[in-house]
Chain A
């Protein structure tokens, strides 16, 4: 059974700060890990994903995430946030078939000016 946990429900930072949003997963086989962003009242947009290779993957708008098998983690980072990064961020995991994309509970990122 695949599970995804996001331990922080709400993270608040100031514009220009760095931020890390945490994601931990559990799964016994090969998986794809991804991050999605949801601005208020909108659909989800894909940010980035990892399957194999370099554990640090780059995404859109300066986001990157690092996969750690030992920690079962896939944390999302950004070096300098902008107010427009305020949104809910979802970590997700899917198995080989890709037919069941399971989401975490989401982290609301609030960026203050």
Chain B
């Protein structure tokens, strides 16, 4: 069975500090991977997607970057956090086309 794991579960970080969020998918070869951001009480905004190792497409510029160093790993990061980065970050995978997305449990980030 496929599993998707996000880490950490939650973070409290200072403005200007670096950030790294991780996502690992097990049990599925070469999935499409996605990062989403959700403001508190808001909708989901797609940030990045990747269809293969080493290739990442940016959907929205929020002073964040993403990388896919391995087939099963997707990393979201920034060198300097902003207050506006606070929110809920969700990783997801799919097989592309019209297949449904499977989401992780998310990482809750508070920037102070």
CB of B104 within 8 A of chain A?
Answer: yes
A contact residues vs B (CB 8 Å cutoff): 32, 34, 36, 41-46, 49, 51, 90, 94, 96-106
Report the number of A-B residue pairs with Cβ-Cβ less than 8 Å: 58
CB distance from B80 to the nearest CB of A (A): 27
Q: Do A103 and B44 have beta carbons less than 8 Å apart?
A: yes
CB of B102 within 8 A of chain A?
Answer: yes
B contact residues vs A (CB 8 Å cutoff): 32, 34, 42-44, 46, 49, 51, 57, 59, 90, 92, 94, 96-106, 108
CB-defined contacts of A100 to chain B, threshold 8 Å: 46, 49, 59
Q: Do A51 and B98 have beta carbons less than 8 Å apart?
A: yes
CB-defined contacts of A94 to chain B, threshold 8 Å: 98
A102 to B108, CA, bound (A): 21
Given the interface pairs A99-B51, A100-B46, the reply to whether A43 lies near B97 with Cβ below 8 Å is no
CB-defined contacts of A41 to chain B, threshold 8 Å: 108
Q: Do B104 and A98 have beta carbons less than 8 Å apart?
A: no
CB-defined contacts of A46 to chain B, threshold 8 Å: 100-102
Q: Do A103 and B43 have beta carbons less than 8 Å apart?
A: yes
Q: Do B101 and A101 have beta carbons less than 8 Å apart?
A: yes
Q: Do A98 and B46 have beta carbons less than 8 Å apart?
A: no
Given known contacts A44-B101, A98-B96, A99-B49, what 15 new A-B pairs fall within 8 Å (CB)? A36-B103, A41-B108, A42-B105, A42-B106, A43-B104, A44-B44, A46-B100, A98-B98, A99-B51, A100-B46, A100-B49, A100-B59, A101-B34, A103-B44, A105-B42
Q: Do A105 and B43 have beta carbons less than 8 Å apart?
A: yes
CB-defined contacts of B99 to chain A, threshold 8 Å: 98
A32 to B98, CA, bound (A): 6
Kindly list the 4 A-B residue pairs having the minimum CB-CB distance in the complex, ordered from nearest.
Answer: A32-B98, A43-B103, A46-B100, A44-B103
Q: Do A43 and B59 have beta carbons less than 8 Å apart?
A: no
CB distance from A33 to the nearest CB of B (A): 9
